[in-house]
Chain A
Amino acid sequence: MTMRRLSSGLGTLIAALASTAAWANPERWQLNMTPGATAISQEIYTLHMIIFIVCCVIGLIVFGAMFYSMWKFRKTKGAVAATWSHNTTAEIIWTVVPILILVGMAIPATSTLIKMADTGGSEMTVKITGYQWKWRYEYVGTDVNFISSLNRESDRARRLGSGVDVTQVENYLLDVDKPLILPIDTKIRFVITADDVIHSWWVPALGWKQDAIPGFINSAWTQIEKPGTYRGQCAELCGKDHGFMPIVVIAKPKAEFDAWLAQQEAALLDVSATVQVPAPAPITKS
């Protein structure tokens, strides 16, 4: 690493520490989770920060006491060892206080978890199916469905001995041929399964990952607040190209999404007209 790269890296690092802005996608020198693009992901981020700070405080106290001991109670400094080997008060304190902290953590965690488990009242459903090594997205209630796999440029560059400088490939390994288009401000239910082995559908900006398991239908939901492009990857080892099945979600304002979906349906109609199959039903919104 050259000095220039290092110093620019440090600059980004400091900016990263100073800034609380949300990133949609991973950044160089990123140190922390992002608050993400949904209310739930924001809650998860807050939970993460609280437990992280709790851990830091506990760590500082314990390590502080240990380092103080190591500095103060050295034989070379003439320290004489005490002979006691228990202290009931201290032992009760350090059993009870952690329990209280844990109860304090369990309450908000439980509340967030209950919200995440509630897929009721969703306005649309997308079925996600994991395959080795691509995703299929189906807009339930329409005939719109497509396969989404690693885009060509990344796929060429990632081959062993491809000779391509991957640092020059835009969104290397995080770009797909056909992204999943979703509307913002809409409670979207996902039903997630797999057709061969277990996969896991994960977009960090949405705050969760959910395993896609053959023979099982898992559900999850999201309600994206900000339009944008959100990238993720398969998170469960699924064979040789596990690292090469990214996920891209493009969140659009509702009107734009509706227009896009209508256009997709029209395109299907064009095709189906020639092969004489019934027209797809319009999107149902409950």
Chain B
Amino acid sequence: MAEHATHDTHDDHHDDHQQSFFQRWFCSTNHKDIGTLYLLFSLLMFFVGGFMALVIRAELFVPGLQLVHPEFFNQMTTMHALVMIFGAVMPAFVGLANWMIPMMIGAPDMALPRMNNWSFWILPFAFTMLLLPLAQYVFFGVGAGGPAGGWTLYPPLSLQGGNNVAFTIFAIHMMGISSIMGAINVIATILNMRAPGMDLLKMPIFCWTWLITAFLLIAVMPVLAGAVTMLLTDKFFLTNFFNAAGGGDPVMYQHIFWFFGHPEVYIMILPAFGIVSEIIPTFARKPLFGYKAMVYATASIAFLSFIVWAHHMFTVGMPLGGELFFMYATMLIAVPTGVKVFNWASTMWKSSMTFETPMLFAIGFVILFTIGGLSGLMLSIVPADFQYHDTYFVVAHFHYVLVTGSIFAIMAATYYWLPKWTGVMYNEALGKWHFWLSTVFVNVLFFPQHFLGLAGMPRRIPDYNVAFADFNMISSIGAFGFGLSQLIFAWIVIQCAFMGKGAKASNHVWEATKGLEWTLASPPPHHSFTTPPVIDDKDLAHGDVTH
């Protein structure tokens, strides 16, 4: 705790020592500074990827091609996905893990601080490499632009790209290395650095979800690296892994890719489950319902995520037995996911709620993520998926789970912990504006896409029949509204983090916070817990730890 830290002369020295800007931000080994870097990087990528989304929605505003060529449109859909997944969502969760895990388990820092620095600083270089072919084309008219074969990089199409294939693949390798190092750090920290008395089954749910996510990352990022390496050698070194004419198998790529890709989906949602499980009990003033069930449900989802990959491939022509297996396994995921949703709803039942911005985003998450989950259940029904697959119905589905799921959880986490990080309260009125505008516009944006898909509009097309015009226009209006609303978010963060504007935040920040991170000062000291805190089970976020 903060008081304890002052008794430790060695660490006082560290707290006091003056670092230059370069030392602090470029050579940092401090979990909070690296967490901040991750979060700011993620925010930047969120706007870069969001801008690409707006190019897409602008082109789709009315039928006919008005703004961009089809090839450029395909580059936008491809890069939007890569930037949002690897640049916005994943680094945001790693940033939150960096900031919060040591503070939540009573540790002074992450277990491997130098590797921590490295895993962040790979990212700016990786994304420079990823964006370079596109930026060259857009700003200097050099080359043919970025990859245009979709973020899944399916061969043979992805191999029709030029040298940008090499840029994309090396960027993905670097992102993978960064993610694996981040994951190793999270595992090492959680398994080795918990304060005495912080048993695994007393840890905050956020730490649990991240521990499981970290294992998923270590398991699947090398698989992606393998898949894209084979693409690389197929493209530049005359191998024929995926080239049918040379005896290769283009469908094998899809199997390998989705063996990565499906756990990846849970990598992007499990930490979000953890965040929401921290926030709802705080503002409901009631312990989390079914703590252990939440942990087991998370572990079950993680296990199932490895045996459902081919549900992305129901139309590739698998044997009947394969289709049936992947249908049943996919349907099964609804059970642990349902347990989680019911547990959140039960936490709210007979509670005493207030609706500050983090709580609004958390409730928005539960409702809208569940809509995405339910459309996911629909997609698991193979015969129906023969209709839904590769249409806007799927686009609506995964944006409900990723935007109103992962992104809403990241926003909820930001509002929840921003006063802890910066020491000042954010502007609550602006926060509420941000929530309501985002929620209204995100539904205007994505809900009509369900209709478009059911009516027969394929995804990834730059132009469409007039029958699809009305809902596309509505969707685009939603997109611009949602995009502009995020400027409020950026302004709120700038006010707190860079201008220090706002009321002084107390240690506990919110009325009913529980957990070790709230025993530290706001902002917390340089080294979070220099002496292990004394753990009282009553102070833990989830109350009764026996259930």
Contacts and interface: CB of A to CB of B under 8 A. Distances in A.
Contact of A81 (B65, B335, B352, B366): B352
B315 A216 contact: no
B432 to A, nearest CB: 15
B149 interface: yes
Interface in A61-88: 62-63, 65-66, 69-70, 73-76, 79-83, 85-87
B33 to A, nearest CB: 36
Interface string A157-199: 1111110111100011110000000000000000000001110
B338 A65 contact: no
Contacts of A114: 320
A282 to B, nearest CB: 30
B250 A106 contact: no
A236 to B, nearest CB: 6
A85 B547 contact: yes
A209 B386 contact: yes
Contacts of A44: 383-384, 386-387
A55 B375 contact: yes
B316 A213 contact: yes
A271 interface: no
A227 interface: no
A131 interface: no
A18 B353 CA distance: 41
Contacts of B377: 51, 55
B470 A204 contact: no
Interface string B289-333: 111010000000000000000000001110010011001100110
Contacts of A58: 374
Interface stretch (A26-34, A120-128, A136-144, A262-270): A26-34
Given A70-B348, A105-B381, A173 B465 contact: yes
The DSSP consensus for interface residues of chain A is mixed
A43 B289 CA distance: 40
A55 B374 contact: yes
Interface residues on B, range: 35 or more
Interface stretch (B22-30, B216-224, B339-347, B490-498): B339-347
B157 A239 contact: yes
Contacts of B471: 29
A31 to B, nearest CB: 5
A233 interface: yes
Contacts of B157: 197-198, 237-239
B14 to A, nearest CB: 39
Nearest to A164: B64
B469 A240 contact: no
Contacts of B346: 87, 90
A165 B351 CA distance: 58
A232 B457 CA distance: 9
B284 A81 contact: yes
A28 B332 CA distance: 36
Contacts of B148: 239-240
Interface of B: 63-71, 74, 148-150, 154, 156-157, 160, 244-245, 248-251, 284-291, 293, 315-317, 320, 323-324, 327-328, 331-332, 334-335, 338-339, 341-342, 345-346, 348-355, 363, 366-367, 370-371, 374-375, 377-378, 381-384, 386-387, 389-391, 451, 454-471, 473, 542-544, 547
Given A85-B290, A117-B320, A209-B389, 10 more contacts: A26-B455, A80-B352, A81-B286, A81-B350, A87-B289, A99-B335, A117-B323, A198-B154, A202-B458, A243-B70
24 contacts: A9-B470, A28-B470, A31-B455, A43-B383, A48-B384, A55-B375, A73-B348, A73-B353, A76-B354, A79-B350, A81-B351, A98-B338, A106-B331, A109-B382, A117-B320, A165-B64, A167-B466, A172-B466, A173-B465, A197-B156, A200-B315, A210-B315, A215-B244, A215-B245
